[in-house]
A and B are shown apart, each in its own frame.
Chain A
Amino acid sequence: KQEVTQIPAALSVPEGENLVLNCSFTDSAIYNLQWFRQDPGKGLTSLLLIQSSQREQTSGRLNASLDKSSGRSTLYIAASQPGDSATYLCAVRGYSGGGADGLTFGKGTHLIIQP
Protein backbone atom coordinates (compact mmCIF):
# COMPACT_ATOMS: atom_id res chain seq x y z
CA LYS A 1 0.00 0.00 0.00
CA GLN A 2 1.32 3.40 -0.98
CA GLU A 3 2.44 5.68 1.84
CA VAL A 4 3.40 9.31 1.45
CA THR A 5 5.48 11.13 4.03
CA GLN A 6 6.15 14.84 4.20
CA ILE A 7 8.94 16.50 6.11
CA PRO A 8 8.92 18.80 7.95
CA ALA A 9 5.42 18.74 9.41
CA ALA A 10 5.68 22.44 10.14
CA LEU A 11 8.01 25.23 9.14
CA SER A 12 8.22 28.89 10.10
CA VAL A 13 10.68 31.17 8.31
CA PRO A 14 11.16 34.91 7.77
CA GLU A 15 9.92 36.49 4.61
CA GLY A 16 12.33 36.38 1.68
CA GLU A 17 13.94 33.05 2.45
CA ASN A 18 14.17 30.22 0.00
CA LEU A 19 12.87 26.94 1.34
CA VAL A 20 12.49 23.29 0.48
CA LEU A 21 9.64 20.96 1.36
CA ASN A 22 10.22 17.23 1.15
CA CYS A 23 7.98 14.37 0.13
CA SER A 24 8.71 10.66 -0.05
CA PHE A 25 6.60 7.74 -1.23
CA THR A 26 7.01 4.03 -0.82
CA ASP A 27 5.77 2.64 -4.14
CA SER A 28 7.45 3.99 -7.26
CA ALA A 29 4.68 2.67 -9.53
CA ILE A 30 3.03 6.04 -10.03
CA TYR A 31 1.52 7.96 -12.92
CA ASN A 32 2.35 11.35 -11.49
CA LEU A 33 2.93 13.43 -8.39
CA GLN A 34 1.10 16.62 -7.53
CA TRP A 35 1.81 19.39 -5.08
CA PHE A 36 -1.18 21.24 -3.65
CA ARG A 37 -1.76 24.18 -1.41
CA GLN A 38 -4.54 24.16 1.18
CA ASP A 39 -5.58 27.24 3.09
CA PRO A 40 -7.35 26.77 6.45
CA GLY A 41 -10.85 25.38 6.00
CA LYS A 42 -10.55 25.53 2.24
CA GLY A 43 -10.22 23.15 -0.67
CA LEU A 44 -7.10 22.33 -2.63
CA THR A 45 -5.24 24.46 -5.12
CA SER A 46 -3.08 22.50 -7.52
CA LEU A 47 0.42 23.96 -7.76
CA LEU A 48 2.46 21.61 -9.89
CA LEU A 49 2.02 18.23 -11.54
CA ILE A 50 5.03 16.11 -12.43
CA GLN A 51 4.59 13.14 -14.70
CA SER A 52 6.39 9.95 -13.78
CA SER A 53 8.71 10.42 -16.75
CA GLN A 54 9.67 13.97 -15.79
CA ARG A 55 12.33 15.23 -13.42
CA GLU A 56 10.96 18.66 -12.55
CA GLN A 57 8.33 21.30 -13.16
CA THR A 58 8.45 25.04 -12.59
CA SER A 59 5.76 27.65 -12.06
CA GLY A 60 6.81 31.13 -11.05
CA ARG A 61 8.66 30.94 -7.74
CA LEU A 62 7.88 27.26 -7.36
CA ASN A 63 9.99 24.37 -8.57
CA ALA A 64 9.17 20.74 -7.95
CA SER A 65 11.50 17.85 -8.60
CA LEU A 66 10.83 14.14 -8.81
CA ASP A 67 13.18 11.22 -8.34
CA LYS A 68 10.83 8.34 -8.98
CA SER A 69 13.35 5.57 -8.44
CA SER A 70 14.18 6.75 -4.95
CA GLY A 71 10.58 7.76 -4.18
CA ARG A 72 11.31 11.40 -3.46
CA SER A 73 10.08 14.81 -4.47
CA THR A 74 10.93 18.30 -3.32
CA LEU A 75 9.06 21.57 -3.61
CA TYR A 76 11.33 24.58 -3.72
CA ILE A 77 9.84 27.98 -2.94
CA ALA A 78 11.98 30.96 -3.83
CA ALA A 79 11.81 34.35 -2.13
CA SER A 80 9.00 33.35 0.21
CA GLN A 81 6.18 35.80 0.95
CA PRO A 82 3.60 35.97 3.77
CA GLY A 83 0.95 35.02 1.23
CA ASP A 84 2.70 31.68 0.81
CA SER A 85 1.60 30.69 4.31
CA ALA A 86 -0.57 27.58 3.96
CA THR A 87 -0.41 23.82 4.22
CA TYR A 88 1.38 22.19 1.32
CA LEU A 89 0.30 18.71 0.35
CA CYS A 90 2.12 16.17 -1.75
CA ALA A 91 0.07 13.46 -3.48
CA VAL A 92 0.88 10.61 -5.82
CA ARG A 93 -1.40 8.90 -8.29
CA GLY A 94 -0.74 5.21 -8.56
CA TYR A 95 -2.42 2.45 -10.44
CA SER A 96 -3.90 -0.90 -9.68
CA GLY A 97 -5.03 -3.61 -11.97
CA GLY A 98 -8.26 -1.79 -12.65
CA GLY A 99 -6.72 1.46 -13.82
CA ALA A 100 -5.70 4.73 -12.26
CA ASP A 101 -6.30 5.11 -8.56
CA GLY A 102 -7.23 8.22 -6.68
CA LEU A 103 -4.49 10.23 -5.06
CA THR A 104 -2.58 9.19 -1.96
CA PHE A 105 -1.76 12.24 0.13
CA GLY A 106 0.88 13.05 2.67
CA LYS A 107 -0.09 14.80 5.90
CA GLY A 108 1.27 18.07 4.64
CA THR A 109 3.75 20.71 5.69
CA HIS A 110 2.24 23.64 7.57
CA LEU A 111 4.19 26.66 6.41
CA ILE A 112 4.25 30.06 8.07
CA ILE A 113 6.11 32.95 6.47
CA GLN A 114 6.79 35.67 9.00
CA PRO A 115 6.48 39.25 7.68
Chain B
Amino acid sequence: GAVVSQHPSRVICKSGTSVKIECRSLDFQATTMFWYRQFPKQSLMLMATSNEGSKATYEQGVEKDKFLINHASLTLSTLTVTSAHPEDSSFYICSASPSTNSYNSPLHFGNGTRLTVT
Protein backbone atom coordinates (compact mmCIF):
# COMPACT_ATOMS: atom_id res chain seq x y z
CA GLY B 1 0.00 0.00 0.00
CA ALA B 2 0.81 3.71 0.11
CA VAL B 3 1.85 4.11 -3.51
CA VAL B 4 2.59 7.52 -4.98
CA SER B 5 2.64 7.77 -8.75
CA GLN B 6 4.42 10.63 -10.47
CA HIS B 7 4.26 11.47 -14.19
CA PRO B 8 6.02 12.01 -16.42
CA SER B 9 9.23 10.36 -15.31
CA ARG B 10 11.23 12.32 -17.84
CA VAL B 11 10.48 15.39 -19.94
CA ILE B 12 12.49 17.51 -22.32
CA CYS B 13 11.08 20.87 -23.33
CA LYS B 14 12.16 24.03 -25.05
CA SER B 15 12.91 27.19 -23.17
CA GLY B 16 9.80 29.31 -22.65
CA THR B 17 7.31 26.48 -22.58
CA SER B 18 5.39 25.22 -19.55
CA VAL B 19 5.55 21.74 -18.12
CA LYS B 20 3.05 20.04 -15.84
CA ILE B 21 4.03 17.27 -13.45
CA GLU B 22 1.41 15.12 -11.75
CA CYS B 23 1.61 13.46 -8.36
CA ARG B 24 -1.10 10.94 -7.47
CA SER B 25 -1.71 8.93 -4.34
CA LEU B 26 -3.05 5.63 -5.69
CA ASP B 27 -4.40 3.89 -2.63
CA PHE B 28 -4.84 6.58 -0.03
CA GLN B 29 -6.09 10.10 0.31
CA ALA B 30 -3.53 12.80 0.75
CA THR B 31 -4.46 16.04 2.44
CA THR B 32 -0.91 17.24 2.15
CA MET B 33 1.69 16.75 -0.57
CA PHE B 34 5.23 18.09 -0.67
CA TRP B 35 7.24 19.05 -3.74
CA TYR B 36 11.03 18.80 -3.74
CA ARG B 37 13.76 19.68 -6.22
CA GLN B 38 17.18 18.11 -6.49
CA PHE B 39 20.04 19.55 -8.50
CA PRO B 40 22.95 17.28 -9.46
CA LYS B 41 25.04 16.24 -6.48
CA GLN B 42 22.85 18.32 -4.18
CA SER B 43 20.34 17.51 -1.50
CA LEU B 44 16.62 17.38 -2.05
CA MET B 45 15.21 20.79 -1.23
CA LEU B 46 11.62 21.34 -0.21
CA MET B 47 9.94 23.73 -2.64
CA ALA B 48 6.40 23.90 -1.36
CA THR B 49 3.71 22.26 0.70
CA SER B 50 0.51 21.55 -1.18
CA ASN B 51 -2.72 21.41 0.80
CA GLU B 52 -5.94 20.11 -0.70
CA GLY B 53 -8.44 22.88 -1.23
CA SER B 54 -6.16 25.72 -0.24
CA LYS B 55 -3.16 27.63 -1.49
CA ALA B 56 0.24 26.05 -1.42
CA THR B 57 2.87 27.25 1.00
CA TYR B 58 6.16 28.02 -0.70
CA GLU B 59 9.61 27.89 0.82
CA GLN B 60 11.75 30.98 0.87
CA GLY B 61 13.31 31.68 -2.50
CA VAL B 62 10.80 29.64 -4.52
CA GLU B 63 8.78 31.75 -6.95
CA LYS B 64 5.11 30.91 -6.58
CA ASP B 65 4.25 32.44 -9.94
CA LYS B 66 6.79 30.27 -11.69
CA PHE B 67 6.01 27.02 -9.91
CA LEU B 68 2.24 26.74 -9.88
CA ILE B 69 0.82 24.12 -7.57
CA ASN B 70 -2.73 22.84 -7.70
CA HIS B 71 -4.12 20.32 -5.22
CA ALA B 72 -7.70 20.08 -6.36
CA SER B 73 -8.48 16.63 -5.00
CA LEU B 74 -7.33 14.36 -2.20
CA THR B 75 -5.42 12.16 -4.64
CA LEU B 76 -3.83 14.59 -7.08
CA SER B 77 -1.41 17.47 -6.89
CA THR B 78 0.17 19.09 -9.93
CA LEU B 79 3.28 21.22 -10.28
CA THR B 80 3.48 23.41 -13.37
CA VAL B 81 6.81 24.95 -14.26
CA THR B 82 5.84 28.03 -16.24
CA SER B 83 8.06 29.57 -18.90
CA ALA B 84 10.77 27.05 -18.17
CA HIS B 85 14.41 28.00 -18.62
CA PRO B 86 17.56 25.86 -18.66
CA GLU B 87 18.27 26.71 -15.00
CA ASP B 88 14.98 24.99 -14.11
CA SER B 89 16.42 21.70 -15.33
CA SER B 90 16.38 19.47 -12.29
CA PHE B 91 14.90 16.39 -10.67
CA TYR B 92 11.47 17.10 -9.19
CA ILE B 93 9.93 14.66 -6.73
CA CYS B 94 6.75 14.68 -4.70
CA SER B 95 5.76 13.04 -1.47
CA ALA B 96 2.33 12.51 -0.02
CA SER B 97 0.99 12.35 3.49
CA PRO B 98 -2.16 10.31 4.10
CA SER B 99 -5.08 12.21 5.54
CA THR B 100 -5.05 9.88 8.49
CA ASN B 101 -1.32 10.20 8.86
CA SER B 102 0.07 11.14 12.17
CA TYR B 103 3.17 13.25 12.01
CA ASN B 104 5.12 10.22 13.09
CA SER B 105 4.33 8.14 10.02
CA PRO B 106 6.62 7.93 7.01
CA LEU B 107 6.05 10.08 3.96
CA HIS B 108 5.64 8.26 0.66
CA PHE B 109 7.55 9.40 -2.41
CA GLY B 110 6.94 9.29 -6.13
CA ASN B 111 9.69 8.17 -8.50
CA GLY B 112 10.50 11.70 -9.56
CA THR B 113 10.53 13.64 -12.82
CA ARG B 114 13.72 14.54 -14.65
CA LEU B 115 13.14 17.88 -16.38
CA THR B 116 15.54 19.06 -19.05
CA VAL B 117 14.99 22.48 -20.59
CA THR B 118 16.87 23.13 -23.82
Contact = CB atoms under 8 A, between A and B. Distances in A.
Contact of B107 (A93, A98, A106): A93
B110 to A, nearest CB: 6
Given A42-B112, A108-B43, A103 B95 contact: yes
A72 interface: no
A43 B110 contact: yes
Query: Chain B: interface residue count, which band?
Result: 20 to 34
B102 to A, nearest CB: 9
A49 interface: yes
A42 B10 CA distance: 11
Given A31-B103, A99-B103, A104 B112 contact: no
Contact of B46 (A49, A89, A99, A102): A102
Query: Chain A: interface residue count, which band?
Result: 20 to 34
Interface in A76-115: 89, 91, 93, 95, 98-108
Q: Which of B6, B42, B43, B110 has the most CB of A within 10 A?
A: B43
A43 B43 contact: no
A46 B109 CA distance: 9
A34 B41 CA distance: 20
Nearest to B103: A100
B104 A89 contact: no
A43 B104 contact: no
A98 B57 CA distance: 11
The 3 tightest CB contacts between A and B, nearest first, are: A43-B111, A102-B34, A100-B103
Given A44-B109, A89-B43, 17 more contacts: A31-B104, A32-B103, A32-B104, A32-B106, A43-B93, A46-B108, A46-B109, A89-B44, A93-B103, A98-B57, A102-B34, A102-B36, A102-B107, A104-B46, A105-B43, A105-B44, A107-B41
14 contacts: A4-B43, A32-B103, A32-B106, A42-B111, A42-B112, A43-B109, A44-B109, A49-B106, A89-B44, A98-B57, A101-B49, A102-B34, A102-B49, A105-B45
Interface of A: 4, 31-32, 34, 36, 41-44, 46, 49, 51-52, 89, 91, 93, 95, 98-108
